[in-house]
A = this chain, B = another copy of it.
């Protein structure tokens, strides 16, 4: 198996990396050149723990433009800058949870988040969904009733959802689902902190997602909210600048206090580069280039799977409108886990994926697969897709 993994012609649909060829190197170079011409040496000095004030202002303006009618004022002092959005998630959990606590998560959910909770001794419990993958309010009410009965309600410390072009499902939560979630939590007196992970919100292919964030929905008014996202997933992951916007000053203060111990501030220079390219519109221009590009890449993989006949083999998936992933449901009998025959066959055939089982809490199904079209070019995506379908064909029962 390790020999197969070292196969140089292996094509990875697993890594959540972004497209290499379109990375805005000349744009970053120009920004650094301007910083040098203006002799802005402070960009190479320590910044602040919370992040560059001007960058936080720009973040606040950006959010205001997306959602002009926010229920909360997106004051720049409620923003904080992190080492990618991952650090924001980590800080949020670190200050909220103790071992034995429970976090309600979307189903499926971001697998690095689930692994992180496990390492913290925190239990992830899926928010029930219906057969179409939509949040099931009645199912959630029943779940919360059971927690009430066992006395576990008090251990529920947070709710976490990836609400736009989710990793792994590429779904956006719709308004009804978001409302149902809030309504059931309120009905059960569970006004716990909510984390809305919007890391992929900017990565729509052609149409901006319509659904408001929780920040803009009255029904979420009473909840402490952390809205988080990243500037560098859609721009240049190597700069690693994420951010959070927190509506609860105490929660924010505790996260900043802990960040002070983690690293007392993210790389100031990277923040300065982002500040510059956002302010002069180059950030938005780069996004307008990569959005249709990811749309095309998605289509190549999607259509390859279709044309090669994957649906006829009992697999199904939705065609996403943004994000980086295809989320495939295989026939019930197929086990896609890391140790499975299916996984070994894929590696032998020269294609890698993320086993869907990693994206569920403990009682999840094992017949899902996450494919990313982020890294590979169109020709490679076609080839990887063909390899995948070839293996799927061997596993028809």
Contact = CB atoms under 8 A, between A and B. Distances in A.
Chain A contact-residue range equals: 35 or more
B45 A25 contact: no
B17 A41 contact: no
A26 B36 contact: yes
Interface in A34-89: 35-36, 39-47, 82-84, 86-87
Interface string A15-29: 001101101111011
Interface string A284-305: 0000000000000000000000
Contacts of A262: 83, 86-87, 90, 262
Contacts of A272: 238
A336 to B, nearest CB: 22
Contact of A119 (B33, B237, B258, B264): B258
Contacts of A236: 44-45, 269
A112 interface: yes
A115 B44 contact: no
B45 A17 contact: yes
Interface string A165-177: 0000000000000
A257 interface: yes
Contacts of A257: 119
Interface in A239-258: 239-241, 257-258
A40 B25 contact: yes
Is chain A's interface secondary structure helix, strand, loop, or mixed overall?
Answer: helix
A112 B264 contact: yes
A246 to B, nearest CB: 18
A108 interface: no
A112 B265 CA distance: 13
A20 B45 contact: yes
Contacts of A83: 83, 262-263, 266-267
A233 to B, nearest CB: 9
Nearest to A120: B261
Nearest to A87: B263
Contact of A36 (B29, B86, B116): B29
Contacts of A25: 35-36, 39-41, 43-44
